[in-house]
Structure 1
Amino acid sequence: MSLTAPPAPAPRITYGAVLGSPYVARLLGGTLTGRLPNGMAPVAILLWATASGSSIALGGLLSALYGLSSALAQPVKGRLMDRHGQSAVHLSAALLNSALLVALPLAGTCGGPGLATAIVIGGGLTTPSLEAGLRALWPSVLPDPRLRHAALALDTGTQGLLYIVGPLLVAALASAYNPAVALAVTAALGLAGTAAVATAPPSRRWRPPRSENQKSGHASQLATPGVLLLFTALTGIGFAIGAMNVWSIAMAEQHDQNMLSGIIPAAFSTGSFLGGLIYGSRTWQGTTTRRLIIVTGAFLTGWLPLLALPGPYAAIAAVTVPGAFLTIVVACAYVTTDALTPAGRTAEAYAWLILAIGAGQSAGTALAGRLAEQPLASAALPAAGAALALAVLLTARQRLGTDGHMQRGRHRRPVRGQHRA
């Protein structure tokens, strides 16, 4: 009787191995640079409007319109990428976006609020869809699913840093020079980062796989029940983030510490970054559907200490806990979206995912603003958003794990939820 040695364990994945893989550092660095304007432009627009003599109300409106139009245009650009590839769509959008941001201080001052509004909306509509594009590139750049798992966690975890670095950079530029310079630098960074991604060979070569329906001339259905329920759950995640941002401002006013309005979101983003690093460095057992539900439950639990109305230092520490689970929730949601999406519609599906989170964030911000003067209600809203997400996921778990469309996903994952991040 011969004895066979057990198979050697697979070597541990490190972030050095991920970043050392061909094109990964360029794609990740270019995407982060190209997406810095997402954190810079709204602040720069607000500062430019007030420095030009407009009211804070108008500046806030212009800033909000930029973010809203950017989110609403995501699915359109995702569909264009699925049809025409990434490079042409990215570069066209970046050129238009940069031109409009540079033009705003020149034309907006002369043309009044109407022209400024048109330029801002145009700038938002033309923001490059780099996030959805990068997620669609990972399978072709990193065929090893373990490397892809780590890259997705690293990519997702670093997103929060954009909203820390971006506003700080704008504030420094506006203080040292003026808001027009901040807008010009925003435009330059967006164009440079997008060009680095769009001219990379993986982006130039990328084309989505075609499904059998597409080959026969029939459109593949994207809005399946599983996809719709998943995106509904993600609006709850976005709602929690938007409510947290307003709650941090209410905390700052309540304790007369203006820095809290920036420190609390920064602590949340730091927790997200660290949680993503830990998650991506390990291999996890179980299905992604089950993991998504468990981690969303942990995300909800992390918000509950806010109901005790903690003081400033305790609040800063408290928000790092749900922040640590945010990256894992989003990473699992991307994997689940990929499995539920028909071939040839992945970039568009990722764009809808981004829009779902953004729409929830806007709703959370709006409702939290109305309840900001009620401390308990304001502190409870992030948990309410997370509870909505968990309830929808629990209701949808059978569709997320056994939906027949999973077999049409790009990676042909098994039917019963065995898709692993």
Structure 2
Amino acid sequence: MRILFFSHYFPPEVNAPASRTFEHCAQWVAEGHDVTVITCAPNCPDGVVYEGYKNTFRSQTEEVQGIKVIRVWTYVAPNAGTIRRILNFVSYMISAVMASLWLKRPDVIIATSPQFFCGWAGVIASRLKRTKFVLEIRDIWPESIEVVGALRNRTLLKVLEFLERRMYLAADHIVAVGEGYRQKIIEKVNVAERTSVVMNGVDLSSFVPREPDIDFKRKWNLEGKFVCSYIGTIGMAHGLDVVIRAAKLLAAKGRDDIRFCLVGDGAVREKLQQEAQAAGVDSMVQFTGRMAKAEMPTVLASSDVCLVHLRGVELFGTVIPSKIFETMAMCRPIIMGVRGEACAMVLEAGAGVEMEPDSETSLLSAIEPLADNPAMTNELGVSGREYVTRNFDRKVLAKRMLRTLHEVCGLEFPADKDVAANTELAAERT
């Protein structure tokens, strides 16, 4: 097949949509398909174009592991502020559609959220190209930006909600990354018969358990400490002020053996750093800033436990953070501060412990027993690796989505035992 993929994010950006898109597309290329990705110059999350790239009106083309990557101009903006971000999203939609006009007609167009103007690029291009359209949903937008207070204008929200429903109806098929997302979609529009779930996973060949990296621990003053790491976007939805409050409680108790390490960047990173300094716990909470995807196995290996956290609002109970799969693959236990399906999955795997979102006392109740019991910590980590190996191999999941693309296009897909087994497991879990 000839596959055209619209994604606002793509490596060297290191967020979840960039990783999922790249790993799926690379697998499809390996299966013999022709894949083109239309994206923008890498700049997430701070709105500064990465070294070696340019944000120009003339599209730039490169090849990444057999994937043709076309980078189009956008109005570049940091991951903060509503109006500038919407301008960023809309400019991508316009530029991406224009770039698609010069390409050969694909068999199928895919567009991925988390922002739906990328989805609308897929809608428009599929109409212009007269081809099938598959919409991938990773976030319920604009509802997710409303619940964190990033957008409060009710008139604008109603317009965006109307566009959201029309986008769902325009898709020939919708792939959600979790059952919670699928349920949210069919609550809004009656598309259950053309909606499926292909969850996130992990490249097991890249995330292999290893010994802690001494240089990393020395650089961030983590030597001899029990390290609880948070890895990912440091944004409004993630509620990481809970870490600062937990560090204050640890300091008050006189526990100097536990450290927090926040790896990543986002809209509230600087604010959190200032809060840590003001509270006198900046030595207990290390901020590394953004790190390359290739460094994530090192970070995970150098952590004793990882925190996965979102604010405790109802909508976030539908989220399944992709970082849980990479963490489990590296034999690291999880402190799960996300409700719903994701938490149930981690507990089912025996790969971590639960905490109440936004509660610093609950965070300490989770982390202190792990710090005091290395055997339990190790057992949880081993159990997690076994679980993702059985259920969430990214290559198997990429094949499953590829089968969906074949079905949408009316093409026969060769039988694959791994895909069939994974589909059966997903059906049982649903």
TM-score (norm 2): 0.29
More strand per residue: 2
More helix per residue: 1
TM-score (norm 1): 0.29
Q: Which has the higher contact order (CA 8 A, sep 6+)?
A: 1
